[in-house]
Amino acid sequence: MILVTGGAGYVGSLLTQELLGLGHHVRVVDTMWFGDPFAGHERLQMIAGDLREPDPAWLNGVDSIIHLSGLSNDPTADFAPQLNNEANVFATRQLAQLAADKAQRDGKPMRYVFASTCSVYYAPTTSEQANVQIMTEEMPIAPTANYSKTKRLAEIELLRIADRSPLFVPVMLRKGTVFGLSPRMRFDLVVNVFTLHAWKTRQLTVHGHGEAWRPLLHIRDAVDAYIHMLNAPEEKIRGEAFNVVHKNYRVLELAHWVAEVIEENFGVEVRVKRDRTGNSASRSYYVSGEKIARELGFSADRGTSEAVISIWKALERGDFGPEPDKDPRYYNIRWLKDTLMSCAPA
């Protein structure tokens, strides 16, 4: 059985469907803040739980863990820094220690695939500084933003546990910014929100200089990468970090490309506008995915065009309601604020 934490989330909901399609038994542990996107399935067990207080019984019968749960972007981390630390570092360590203890008791390896991020590499930059420095897994990193710092600290915790537990097999996937359709859709990711704004207003606005680099990754390639880790040779992945990236784009270049895809496929002209009054500094990171291709033979080949087309068609069908830009369910920070505010004492 495979345990997927955060399995009802943006990537997790699609990953869970794929694992079931491959014949696996899957146990999902999720807070269910965004609801349960699944119909019943005989090989799927859903548990509403908080990873900050893990139950050892969640690991019964489990031989691999894909740990996706936690806060997943800068706005949510900055809004709730304590929750960010607890969910991204403490919970990761707690579950990993339970996994390592189980591996020791059973005398069998336990894989622990951790959802890290390429944002551990980013640094503030201006348009004059936005030269390409290709970031690889071997480079020293010391992120300072709340979100990326907790992801790096979680990686370090996993390596510490692995040093003490030889049957614990952690591997860290540093994913680029994910895009594409999901059962639990998000419109706070750059390709997705560009497509939504183009559909809604026929205009894309790029704030600041637009020269910052972003590594991008199709959601289905993200899913494939996690599944690939379940079967990769243990000696090649234990304690390793792998960047998972399709292509790096400058933000302004990406906006023009999204507009071109829409015009070519739907005959709709989309204007790209630069808002030069915005913040002149932006986070920039250009990331290499060469290591995972060289060591494990994995390549993220899906591009942005397919995702833009499918999201546009879903918007046209009304899959997300008449005004998805105003629906907080599709924006992690809005939903988190609503959730915390609703739980706050009067």
- Residues 325, 285: Cα–Cα separation, whole Å: 27
Look at 141-145, 195-199, 233-237, 297-301 and tell me which has the smallest mean pLDDT.
141-145
pLDDT in tens, 92-124: 999 999 999 999 999 999 999 999 999 999 765
Look at 27-41, 75-89, 143-157, 282-296 and tell me which has the smallest mean pLDDT.
75-89
- Interacting residues of 146 by C-beta distance below 8 A, sequence separation 6+: 74, 77, 78, 81, 84
| Alpha-carbon 308 to chain mean position | 18
Average pLDDT (256-277) is 94
Confidence of residue 128 (pLDDT cuts 50, 70, 90): very low
pLDDT of residue 345: 39
Nearest residue to 248 (alpha-carbon basis) of 282, 294, 287, 298: 287
| Domains of the chain (ranges, CATH numbers) | 2-343 (3.40.50.720)
Look at 154-163, 278-287, 306-315 and tell me which has the smallest mean pLDDT.
278-287
pLDDT of residue 344: 43
Give the CA dihedral 28, 32, 38, 43, nearest 10 degrees.
Answer: 20
Average pLDDT (4-17) is 96
| Alpha-carbon 241 to chain mean position | 15
pLDDT of residue 318: 96
CA distance to 82, 102, 146, per residue, from 86 (Å): 6, 22, 12
Rg (CA), the chain: 20
pLDDT in tens, 301-316: 999 999 999 999 999 9
pLDDT of residue 217: 98
Whether 342 has a pLDDT exceeding 60, the answer reads no
Helix, strand or coil for residue 344?
coil
* Alpha helix positions (H), the chain: 10-21, 74-79, 81-85, 91-106, 146-164, 190-201, 219-231, 234-237, 251-266, 290-296, 304-317, 332-343
Look at 62-71, 114-123, 242-251 and tell me which has the smallest mean pLDDT.
114-123
- Residues 339, 341: Cα–Cα separation, whole Å: 6
Average pLDDT (200-205) is 96
pTM of the model: 0.93
- Residues 251, 255: Cα–Cα separation, whole Å: 6
